[in-house]
Structure 1
Amino acid sequence: MGQVLFYKDLWKEEFWENPWELGGLIVIGLFTVTFLFFILFAVLFGLLFPSEQTENEE
């Protein structure tokens, strides 16, 4: 059982030392944050500036 915990800790340390793995994690994080920001932006401006109805639309 102790050996399994050792390998798990070793894997975690190796993951953070590999720059490609860390770079991929950063790219995925930036993509997710950007996507959520665009959704927030759309909702915010949709609520602040609702479209005005013209006379033809009832």
Structure 2
Amino acid sequence: MDTLTKQRRVWKEEFWQNPWDQGGLAVVSIFIVMVLMLMMFATVFGALLPLEKVDQLDES
């Protein structure tokens, strides 16, 4: 059991020392954040009525 713990610790240390792994993690994180922001943007502005429709509803 002790060797398994040591192997995990070594793997984690190696991961954070490799700049390519850190860069990949940053790119994936930025992509996920960008997709979530675009979904939020589309939801907020898709829920609002366009000004033409608001004017037509007021005149009726």
Report the RMSD for the aligned CA atoms in angstroms: 1.5
Percent of residue pairs bearing the same amino acid type: 42
Q: By how many angstroms is 1:46 displaced? A: 1.1
1:21 matches 2:21: yes
* Number of the residue aligned with 1:46: 46
TM-score, structure 1 normalization: 0.82
Aligned residues: 53
* Number of the residue aligned with 2:8: 8
Q: By how many angstroms is 1:40 displaced? A: 0.2
Consecutive unaligned residues in structure 2, runs of 5 or more: none
Higher helix share: 2
| Rounded Cα–Cα distance in structure 1 between residues aligned with 2:30 and 2:36 | 10
Runs ≥4 residues deviating over 3 A: none
Matched to 1:2, the amino acid is D
